[in-house]
Structure 1
């Protein structure tokens, strides 16, 4: 008879599990076995937890029939094939037990035991009850790693950034519990992790795994990663000025923002203004509006509960003042002196630019004796190059007034048929020019005028007089009326071009000088005439005295004097 081999069987919870029974050999078929009539019979029994056997299936070698005992636990779940393979469907945890195969022959009873093991793969582990945050220097519950429906129960392991976490008193505390469902007899495993975090744990992933055993050996399942917000106290305070600018100028709005490098960052701070010892409690931002130059100084902020942890910044409010004297509209007379000053006061060196009628000047204007061309719109402009938008400007509109001044010129056409008379006028406001012919008093309207530039312009007429005439040019503005005349001879009389450069202001003086010159000339002529008469009388007297010298003079000295006089009178 062949030997019966004991088999160790494994049942996986599922639809079917097969148990192949050992075959028995015999010397023949038929015969009696005790009270039984079957010569050869195979029986399968299972042991209860208390060790008592329970027959669950029989098969006779002669009848080829299978008989299943009425065991509720295996009802409709057993199938014994012709080759003595036992299949159990819908495996259960309770199927994990010792099964015995028995072969009954005429001579003996043979037994072959086998043990069936049942395995159930657990669910993928999951980190639950996660802490909303971890805090440095504090041991806090990080979370629970849970894996369900395992048989037998499995082990759970924790990892940080892929590295195994092991128990370390006060830093890493790991506890493990398992719970079996009384109905399914499956285990739920829970591992709790307490962890003291550091700043190095920022963005570090935590995972857990479950290690279980199956028919093929040991296997491991891993949870999803969990990253925790790490809270840590503020170690440094910084202060910012918003919006960020290279420079702050008067009128700006600025915001002081205080920041702590802790997590979560502080929500309140104390702000200290320049010269103040008491802080102003505020959120992490403090705004100053329309700042002035007196806001320049050191600003500081600190933690509310730890004033020694603070930060400071220096703020300079740049300013620019400009004073133009005189400014606005100023009216002066020609020849007047006008001092002009543009005074700058600024937080740092400023550039100054002078403009006249939108043209940049090389230097600041200075007027010791005003001219008409000095009139115009002057602008003094200053700026701080380092401070965007900080510019100031003031303007001076200078008006230079003057009474009309006249100069008349005359030019004869080369053909000799016409003459051009020009009246040059200077004055402001612009004088109006009117021509008249002396004698007739008629007004000449056909004139040609030049552009009015720098207080000057001219008016000219072209005439062909048949007789001597006098042309009068009259210039008048709001200040005064000025008249000048020029004699023009007929075109038939040759004459040289003349220029009358006598102005009205000097005309009276020139006339007086002419009279004086005429008087002097007349006087000289009269004096020459008198001298001639005197000389003639003297010569006549000298000749008469020489004829009677011997008679009238009785001494030598008188004769000598007469002789000398005669010699002087001779030509």
Structure 2
């Protein structure tokens, strides 16, 4: 026997529009509106029945409808027996689940699940149907630019690359961009070809869009990207590739020559580095350099170095491409500075002589000149019409070019002023009258050696002032108990000079030492002065006679003669000494 369930299923299966007209009592089919379910590839498809379950429901059933194919049932659930049955459809094996409220679940959504599914609720009198359309979406892979060109060339249509995106559904759209702007096809300049491949097993799309592009110089550093626009369950989405920058090759249209230097100016002795560059890409590897004084151009890389340049390197420098075209030039000035000091080095002159000094400058620009004496700047250049000891010293003539860093010259004149010893003697009694200070003022260079001799012999205990400007003073302090003669001898390599001075005993006041006297003793002082003059004259006469006799005696003995020459000088010196003594006493 055939059960009512099977009969109703047969009725429901064969119930169509014609039967509704011819046999309305046998088949009453109720259809409602169409629903759509959007799902993501690989997810679970949830298909609610969207029908109100009638009280006299006998069973529910799901089927799907494919174009040009008969409907095929896939799931059945009895309302009375709570029995669930899945039809033997290979593509849905182990993928279906039908709940008590007749919601159908299909796991692991595939592209083939994009169909029209119908929920059927069957009573004894009616068949209720609710169709639902399933849409499956699959996000494609991020687009990539493959088969990329190593470089692009101007005026040449060249394959830039291919933009590819894989495993998307439904089919998306690829778009090329340059610097964010859409690249539209342009005949002979922008050519885009697109192809689509479908995986037969999965139904997913792979899209490839190739781009041929004619570059210009303005495309240097331009960023090329591509995007895929695809449909998602709720809206349109876009994925963008990584940007690419291509090296643009273009011919050289201009060359340039430059001087590479840390300073703005060049001086003699510097090294000069010339750089020649072309504005092409890639730039030329070799150039021709035209150097002043060289008969032929020099082939070199972009850099050419001249070492230790001289002033004759001043001139116009050029460079060009190796074929002699596209030339550029620059002018180089090698600055120089010459200084000639006349005289220079060590110069020895005698006191009182004249010495002309000149410092001559030759330079590429106006130079500043100044003089130093013993490291102190002078207000004017030195001029010597009559040399003095204070003129001796180190003179430096220095010049510099302020505009040229490091260009400075200097020469030194070491002036030595020599002179024979000159002596002046003086004496002074201390305020308390207990001793006398005898001074021997000496001038001369080299510094004279001074020796003191008294009537009683050589005096060693002396004091000297600082030797400056060829002058110093040698002093002794004595307290003679009787009149004595002091001799100062000054000697340097040029000459030996002797001067003597008579000094009276400490108890006898001397005329060159003024003393404060009252009216009561003024006459007494004058008498004492007359007595002193008489004594001194007598002593001088006695000394003269003794000296002549001594000279006659010593002439016989050579050794004795040498001794007298050393201590007292020759006869001429004795005469001068006597004259000086007379003047000193006067």
TM-score, structure 2 length as denominator?
0.73
Whether 1:372 and 2:389 are equivalent positions in the alignment is yes
Whether 1:7 and 2:34 are equivalent positions in the alignment is yes
Q: Which moved more, 1:127-136 or 1:356-365?
A: 127-136
Whether 1:348 and 2:365 are equivalent positions in the alignment is yes
In the TM superposition, residue 400 of structure 1 has moved relative to its aligned partner by: 1.9
The whole-number CA distance in structure 1 between the counterparts of 2:42 and 2:397 is 99
Whether 1:16 and 2:44 are equivalent positions in the alignment is yes
Whether 1:131 and 2:149 are equivalent positions in the alignment is yes
Change (3 A) 1:455 1:62: closer
Q: Secondary structure at the match of 1:3?
A: strand
In the TM superposition, residue 430 of structure 1 has moved relative to its aligned partner by: 1.7
Which residue of structure 2 aligns with residue 212 of structure 1? 230
In the TM superposition, residue 496 of structure 1 has moved relative to its aligned partner by: 3.0
Q: Secondary structure at the match of 2:30?
A: coil
Which residue of structure 1 aligns with residue 471 of structure 2? 456
Which residue of structure 1 aligns with residue 212 of structure 2? 194
Change (3 A) 1:55 1:360: closer
The whole-number CA distance in structure 2 between the counterparts of 1:57 and 1:468 is 162
The whole-number CA distance in structure 2 between the counterparts of 1:505 and 1:199 is 108
Whether 1:74 and 2:101 are equivalent positions in the alignment is no
Q: Secondary structure at the match of 2:31?
A: coil
Cα-to-partner distance string for 1:102-146 (whole Å, 9 max, x where unaligned): 788888989887654443332333333333444443333333222
In the TM superposition, residue 272 of structure 1 has moved relative to its aligned partner by: 2.2
Which residue of structure 2 aligns with residue 311 of structure 1? 328
Instruction: Extract unaligned runs of 5+ from structure 1.
Output: 30-39, 515-571
Which residue of structure 2 aligns with residue 478 of structure 1? 493
Which residue of structure 2 aligns with residue 560 of structure 1? none
* Aligned residue runs from structure 1 range 432-511, under 5 A: 432-437=449-454, 440=455, 442-465=457-480, 467-489=482-504, 496-497=511-512
Which residue of structure 2 aligns with residue 142 of structure 1? 160
Whether 1:160 and 2:178 are equivalent positions in the alignment is yes
In the TM superposition, residue 414 of structure 1 has moved relative to its aligned partner by: 6.8
* Aligned residue runs from structure 1 range 556-567, under 5 A: none
The whole-number CA distance in structure 1 between the counterparts of 2:477 and 2:291 is 83
Change (3 A) 1:183 1:441: same
Structure 1 contact 327–397 (Cα < 8 Å) conserved: yes
The whole-number CA distance in structure 1 between the counterparts of 2:110 and 2:152 is 43
The whole-number CA distance in structure 2 between the counterparts of 1:26 and 1:365 is 133
The whole-number CA distance in structure 1 between the counterparts of 2:127 and 2:29 is 13
Whether 1:328 and 2:345 are equivalent positions in the alignment is yes
The whole-number CA distance in structure 1 between the counterparts of 2:578 and 2:464 is 33
Cα-to-partner distance string for 1:52-86 (whole Å, 9 max, x where unaligned): 45444455566553443322222222334455544
Structure 1 contact 483–504 (Cα < 8 Å) conserved: no
Structure 1 contact 402–479 (Cα < 8 Å) conserved: yes
Q: Which moved more, 1:361-370 or 1:5-14?
A: 5-14
Change (3 A) 1:426 1:63: closer
In the TM superposition, residue 6 of structure 1 has moved relative to its aligned partner by: 6.4
Which residue of structure 2 aligns with residue 282 of structure 1? 300
Structure 1 contact 11–96 (Cα < 8 Å) conserved: no
Structure 1 contact 237–311 (Cα < 8 Å) conserved: yes
The whole-number CA distance in structure 2 between the counterparts of 1:245 and 1:418 is 73
Which residue of structure 1 aligns with residue 10 of structure 2? none
Larger radius of gyration: 1
Change (3 A) 1:10 1:370: same
The whole-number CA distance in structure 1 between the counterparts of 2:412 and 2:151 is 66
RMSD: 3.9
In the TM superposition, residue 189 of structure 1 has moved relative to its aligned partner by: 0.8
Structure 2 contact 30–126 (Cα < 8 Å) conserved: no
Cα-to-partner distance string for 1:369-404 (whole Å, 9 max, x where unaligned): 222222222222222222222222222222222222
* Aligned residue runs from structure 1 range 227-266, under 5 A: 227-266=245-284
Structure 2 contact 439–474 (Cα < 8 Å) conserved: yes
The whole-number CA distance in structure 1 between the counterparts of 2:432 and 2:234 is 137
The whole-number CA distance in structure 1 between the counterparts of 2:578 and 2:510 is 26
Structure 1 contact 210–221 (Cα < 8 Å) conserved: yes
Change (3 A) 1:19 1:453: closer
In the TM superposition, residue 253 of structure 1 has moved relative to its aligned partner by: 2.2
Task: State which of 315, 338, 353 in structure 1 corresponds to 2:355.
Answer: 338
Structure 2 contact 29–128 (Cα < 8 Å) conserved: no
The whole-number CA distance in structure 1 between the counterparts of 2:204 and 2:384 is 110
In the TM superposition, residue 90 of structure 1 has moved relative to its aligned partner by: 2.5
Q: Which moved more, 1:11-20 or 1:421-430?
A: 11-20
Cα-to-partner distance string for 1:459-505 (whole Å, 9 max, x where unaligned): 3444455555433322222222222233445566665339xxxx999
In the TM superposition, residue 215 of structure 1 has moved relative to its aligned partner by: 4.5
Structure 2 contact 47–132 (Cα < 8 Å) conserved: no
The whole-number CA distance in structure 1 between the counterparts of 2:222 and 2:253 is 21
Structure 2 contact 223–245 (Cα < 8 Å) conserved: yes
The whole-number CA distance in structure 2 between the counterparts of 1:506 and 1:261 is 96
Change (3 A) 1:497 1:100: closer
The whole-number CA distance in structure 1 between the counterparts of 2:327 and 2:476 is 89
Q: Secondary structure at the match of 1:148?
A: strand
Q: Which moved more, 1:218-227 or 1:452-461?
A: 218-227
Change (3 A) 1:393 1:65: same
In the TM superposition, residue 250 of structure 1 has moved relative to its aligned partner by: 1.8
Q: Which moved more, 1:280-289 or 1:109-118?
A: 109-118
